[in-house]
Structure 1
């Protein structure tokens, strides 16, 4: 946008104030890709047997006017004496045409340029003359190689070139007039204004999509919670439904079928919300590239309308367009790869026939694997894009790859601990030792896995501290939330209590906790009262095992201990305590004497 504003402003000032470039100034030629091999001709030169051909282009817009030919030079490092390479000859003709263009833009009254055929040293030439200059400009000499290549006589070829150059001079006079310049500058300003309006419209649409995306993401999370709740209810009633169907209880069985149907509808709605979310992201991506494309087309349109900039318009359609196409393809490939990864992960994660614990476990694991796969695919595609971009500028990518390989090996030898971190991180993901959201213990460190990548594992402990552990230092891991968890509840009661009464109280508390809907979702199966596990001087050790869903063992354990304490108090159950024996030596001696 800034380039366009500057260009239009400079051109407008040039037209309205009458400023003209210096007579000796020339529009610089853009660099062309050349080969390091002297036996190969430049990019724009073609060989046809013993002749080499190069185009002569208009100094206005780079349009090809005609082609000149010269004898083939087989080695440009050793040009024969008296021979001019064909590309040098074509460039000299273009430079002479630019002198005429420069004169036309400098003159206040536009001259009429005539193209004449003359003879110089018994050779046909084309020369340019105008009504304001006494000395014509020699443009090109018509040579025998030119006539041989075009299969015409020298006179015929000279007349043909005369007509082409004369038409170009007429076009030059038209474009250099003040009225045409003002008209084209007005068109350029209209294009620039249209670009600004289109950019504002694209920005406004992106804002709307961003707001809608936030609403859909919140809705997406609500749908995830609804699916999880419906899945828990479905798993909890599967066994009841099976027994009801066997017993012939049609009403109860119908309720279970309705519950399953509701679960499937909820899951379908969840996927529809996610589909709309992905579609909105795709629209934002499309609007971004529409913004780039609109400015690219607008800049090309402005360059092709302002005469002083017209010769650069053809170059806009060359390398810049190829760069845009390369990175558009890379960006599209990144989006497709991420969509395929998400599709594969969702297919693996959402399966109504898997156990609930396994579904939750896969959800935790896929979050980490998905991030790693997306990062890897993005890195590979970006590297490919960089190599393709370097290739457009004829930079040898093979040498860069070779240097990069050597540099990578040097880094790998110098940072073996980093390589070990990456390898161990891959093994952690492949073996599914733990994932983001698990509670684990590594050595004397424990906490919630908040971040996991190929290099480090980050834990958040109960005090809120973030603990970072390199993956190479991880040898033994205790996963406290793998598929399911367990509360190992044990309590010592006094010998004065009736053991059967204590066990009955524990069973009653366990069953009551299992029956309540608030806690039923957290208990995959009823608690198991094991009985008396040990006898000691402190009392009888009672043990209960309570199986819970992952991450719920702490909340369930606290609630169960509270209820056991209240039940023991209501039934006068005494807690065990150590037995002390006091030994009195004098009393013992008196007793023995008696």
Structure 2
């Protein structure tokens, strides 16, 4: 009988291994794609801030906005009024800006000086556009551009035109100076005209119009977000109901052959996946409307400040660091949502295939629990990787040199290696537990002197619920040897001591008949996966003869089957007139003398 059941159990083990291995191999594809997406996000985010912040903070770094062409460096001169580019200037190359030799003027310093003088003439002095005179002149053998009006008779030097500028443009110094003079004159005169009452009134009207559009748009977006939030609450309530049903099902081991229950489980599982996908879709809409609101407020603020004369410096600050930080934030959250969405779609397709195939209920439940655990770990890993990529990009945007970022990362890695060794071991051992399928949620295990059903499993800890209701948390690094009591199938191992004077053949026959009747019972036969095997008489002693029987059951059903079998066996033994064994002792020798203990 043992030989007959062994091939069946072997085939069951092989099929279970194949069923568990194929989904794990298929799941590596979306995980790999998610990690690749995280790597692409890291590279993309790292390219947001080019220049000084990516190569270090030493003096040999080319600043942002400066282009080097051999012996000259070129940068743009922007208007301090509206932020538009006025022209480009050139200066001899400065290799080490930390040690500038006297007489050298880095090109970015020249650009800042020109912008400051234009701001002085237009904003501070508010030169009159009607009497404004922007002229070319020669000062110390250098062509310069000056500005004056009726209120300010002393010329103000706005910019100087050097041979490096002429070499860059490929024109004579006089022609370059004339081009610059026209541009500076137009800039100062336009600002003067903007300060006139009629132009200020038009700016105020545009300011109020933009403010009204911002208010209406914000109210509309908030209304839509509120309706989406209500829809999410309804779906979340339905999802919680389905999850509670799944948890109750997981707490009750599946019975082999209970197809109706399996169909209900598959239907509930698919409904849960669909609800999660719908929640994810509504969450995506919520996220998109959040960014629409953010763009509306950010863009509206930029346009509002643009209506204020002479606030180009403030508008430029709005499109520099804050815009880069928002871009990093957007790319990181988009990568996280796309990666999680990819894993969710894979999970839904896999569950659809499993539901269409049907099969053993306990095996399907085990696959589903293992898949959910691994996918949760994969989601957490992707979130951590993409978040670290975003954090590194934020440090670069804030001006932290890459050399400092690498040094900080090295120190953190060193600190983690010493201070978080147990955590690293927990994560590694947790990954191995999941990859090797040592146990899953719902299994009953015995590890380190603790026994209970696995209620939660992640990369760091395993949490059990003991038979007494105790909630036990075990770090994965402490798990070295595991006894899985409900893996694939379970076994009832019952040994009964019968009286030594009883007929051994009758005792074996009664035990075998009780096991066969239990297997033929419709209420219990579905839980028994192989015919009961009576091993025979295992021991003979003064307590009686020990009869042993094995009954292979569905995972986790051996406790219930064992209790029912013991009850039936006890009744059958009583009906057959077979008594249970009891210890016997025989005393040899003379009885004790009682006279010695009588009173004299």
Q: Place the TM-score, normalised by the shorter chain, in its bin.
A: 0.7 to 0.9
Distance 1:77 1:88 in 2: 13
Q: TM-score, normalised by structure 1?
A: 0.72
Quick one: structure 1 residues 141 and 425, their matched pair in 2 at CA, closer, same or farther if it must change by over 3 Å?
closer
Partner of 1:563: 568
Of residues 315, 327, 344, the one that matches 1:325 is 327
Partner of 1:159: 182
Partner of 2:446: 441
For the pair 1:180 / 2:203, whether they are aligned, the reply is yes
Could you report, residue by residue, the CA deviation over 1:336-355 in whole angstroms, capped at 9, with x for unpaired residues? 44455556677778754876
Partner of 2:301: 302
Distance 1:410 1:49 in 2: 44
Asked if the contact 2:235/2:275 (under 8 Å) is kept, the reply is no
The Cα of 1:191 is off from its aligned counterpart by 0.3
Of residues 460, 483, 491, the one that matches 2:465 is 460
Asked if the contact 2:118/2:188 (under 8 Å) is kept, the reply is no
Of residues 378, 386, 390, the one that matches 2:383 is 378
Could you report, residue by residue, the CA deviation over 1:482-532 in whole angstroms, capped at 9, with x for unpaired residues? 211111122233357666665555455444543445434433234344454
The Cα of 1:444 is off from its aligned counterpart by 3.1
SS of match in other structure, 1:305: helix
Partner of 1:125: 145
Partner of 1:284: 283
Decide which moves more: 280-289 or 166-175: 166-175
Of residues 135, 140, 153, the one that matches 2:158 is 140
Could you report, residue by residue, the CA deviation over 1:8-43 in whole angstroms, capped at 9, with x for unpaired residues? xxxxxxxxxxxxxxxxxxxxxxxx958745455532
For the pair 1:88 / 2:109, whether they are aligned, the reply is yes
Quick one: structure 1 residues 496 and 552, their matched pair in 2 at CA, closer, same or farther if it must change by over 3 Å?
same
SS of match in other structure, 1:332: helix
Distance 1:493 1:46 in 2: 98
The Cα of 1:212 is off from its aligned counterpart by 0.8
What are the within-5 Å matches in structure 2 for residues 486-525 of structure 1?
486-494=491-499, 505-507=510-512, 509-525=514-530
Q: Higher RCO, 1 or 2 (CA under 8 Å, sep at least 6)?
A: 2
Number of positions where the alignment pairs a residue of Structure 1 with one of Structure 2 = 526
Asked if the contact 1:33/1:393 (under 8 Å) is kept, the reply is no
Asked if the contact 1:65/1:165 (under 8 Å) is kept, the reply is no
SS of match in other structure, 2:454: strand
Asked if the contact 1:39/1:76 (under 8 Å) is kept, the reply is yes
Distance 1:39 1:426 in 2: 46
SS of match in other structure, 2:304: coil
Distance 2:248 2:448 in 1: 34
Asked if the contact 1:97/1:139 (under 8 Å) is kept, the reply is no
Quick one: structure 1 residues 521 and 175, their matched pair in 2 at CA, closer, same or farther if it must change by over 3 Å?
farther
What are the within-5 Å matches in structure 2 for residues 265-414 of structure 1?
270-271=269-270, 274-306=273-305, 307-308=307-308, 311-341=313-343, 351=354, 352=357, 358-409=363-414, 411-413=416-418
Quick one: structure 1 residues 74 and 360, their matched pair in 2 at CA, closer, same or farther if it must change by over 3 Å?
closer
Asked if the contact 1:117/1:126 (under 8 Å) is kept, the reply is yes
Quick one: structure 1 residues 492 and 153, their matched pair in 2 at CA, closer, same or farther if it must change by over 3 Å?
closer
Distance 1:500 1:175 in 2: 118
Structure 2: segments with no counterpart, 5+ residues: 1-50, 593-600
For the pair 1:58 / 2:76, whether they are aligned, the reply is no
Could you report, residue by residue, the CA deviation over 1:154-207 in whole angstroms, capped at 9, with x for unpaired residues? 445533542344334434547972553254135224403422441342143133
Distance 1:298 1:371 in 2: 35
Partner of 1:27: none
Distance 2:230 2:245 in 1: 23
SS of match in other structure, 2:132: strand
For the pair 1:547 / 2:546, whether they are aligned, the reply is no
Distance 1:40 1:501 in 2: 97
Quick one: structure 1 residues 469 and 39, their matched pair in 2 at CA, closer, same or farther if it must change by over 3 Å?
closer
What are the within-5 Å matches in structure 2 for residues 463-482 of structure 1?
463-482=468-487
CA RMSD, 1 decimal: 4.4
Quick one: structure 1 residues 178 and 168, their matched pair in 2 at CA, closer, same or farther if it must change by over 3 Å?
closer
Distance 1:179 1:556 in 2: 88
Quick one: structure 1 residues 226 and 125, their matched pair in 2 at CA, closer, same or farther if it must change by over 3 Å?
same
Quick one: structure 1 residues 422 and 490, their matched pair in 2 at CA, closer, same or farther if it must change by over 3 Å?
same
Decide which moves more: 463-472 or 337-346: 337-346
Partner of 2:3: none
Distance 1:311 1:416 in 2: 50
Quick one: structure 1 residues 490 and 71, their matched pair in 2 at CA, closer, same or farther if it must change by over 3 Å?
closer
Distance 1:427 1:270 in 2: 26
Partner of 1:211: 234
Asked if the contact 1:418/1:455 (under 8 Å) is kept, the reply is yes
Could you report, residue by residue, the CA deviation over 1:458-486 in whole angstroms, capped at 9, with x for unpaired residues? 43322333344444444433221121111
Quick one: structure 1 residues 136 and 205, their matched pair in 2 at CA, closer, same or farther if it must change by over 3 Å?
farther
Could you report, residue by residue, the CA deviation over 1:367-423 in whole angstroms, capped at 9, with x for unpaired residues? 443333333333222222222332334433354334433553454356655555555
Distance 1:117 1:336 in 2: 57
